[in-house]
Amino acid sequence: MKIQVRFKNDNGNEVVATFDRDAGTVSTQDGQKGTYSRPEGSRTMEIKGDVNLTMTFADDVRFEQGYSTRYTTNDGRAGVATILSVG
């Protein structure tokens, strides 16, 4: 299953990332790539690769198009994550 998510931080910067749940990989529209892990039911996700980042979501993540939740990162950023597509 692939999930496309828009991360819009509070500064207005936007990144769209595609997560491949079967492969455990993530790629962004600007070409960054890596792997990710998020234990089932966890609100914390770790990304490793071109960018190393830990994200914590404010709510339980639901894999539904249009679902949004706030996030914070280990490097001090915060914003809103919105699921654009699931398939």
Question: What is the predicted pLDDT for the residue at 40?
Answer: 84
Question: What is the predicted pLDDT for the residue at 70?
Answer: 98
d(CA 15, CA 31): 11
CATH number of 2-86: 2.40.128.540
User: CA torsion sign, 48 to 44 to 2 to 86?
Assistant: negative
pLDDT, tens digit, 9 for 90 and up, residues 13-63: 999 999 999 999 999 999 999 999 998 889 999 999 999 999 999 999 899
Question: What is the predicted pLDDT for the residue at 41?
Answer: 85
Given a cut of 90, is residue 3 above it in pLDDT? yes
d(CA 30, CA 43): 25
